[in-house]
Amino acid sequence: MAVANGFKTLAGLALVMIAVQVLNSLSGYSLNIFGLIPRTLQGLPGILTSPFLHGSFTHLTANLVPFLILGAMVIAEGQRRFVAVSLIILLLGGALVWLFGFRGIHVGASAWVFGLWAYILTRAWLLRSWSSLLAAAVTMFLYSGLVLGFLPRAGVSFEGHIFGAFAGFIAAKMLLSGAKPMSNAARQ
């Protein structure tokens, strides 16, 4: 039942992203003013609002599919874990973009996606359990190309990608610091 509630949460977040995108496109993308604008008071709320705003339906789809897949891999640990990981990614990653990002409006859930990606990979390193290693292998198989997102490109918030991934790493370190890696006896 708890896992089912977790997946409802994930589906709810996806529906919010879709609804916001529809409203945003109908308004000529005027809602993007609520994106993250570095080093401005106006842009500070964008730390929480920017993941729900996108520049186009293509942009939304490019973020939504990996968000759902990677989010499901994290939410399988429980809804509380997903919420904790997500809050760390959104708040820490967003704050770092706000502090160090390029001038302009940052929108999109890609920092969240990169954070979930890094969390899953770091979790495998920290826990070394079969389930976490399998999840990391699937993640690398499906999304190894995300590494290219760390490269600067015009019109892309590569800072969001970098800081999102960093925040995902920190989330794993914070939330799994007391977890013990699998022993040598259990590996055999």
CATH code for the domain of 44? 1.20.1540.10
Which pLDDT band, with edges at 50, 70 and 90, does 10 fall under?
Answer: very high
Which pLDDT band, with edges at 50, 70 and 90, does 181 fall under?
Answer: low
pLDDT for 75 equals: 96
pLDDT for 183 equals: 47
**CA dist list (Å): 90 to 23, 25, 82, 160:** 22, 24, 12, 10
Summarize the confidence of residues 106-123 as an average pLDDT.
98
What total number of domains does the chain contain? 1
pLDDT for 182 equals: 55
Q: What does residue 106 show for φ and ψ, rounded to 5 degrees?
A: -100, 125
159 neighbors 114 (Cβ within 8 angstroms): no
Diameter over CA atoms, the chain: 60
pTM (2 d.p.): 0.92
Domain of 177 in residue numbering reads as 2-187
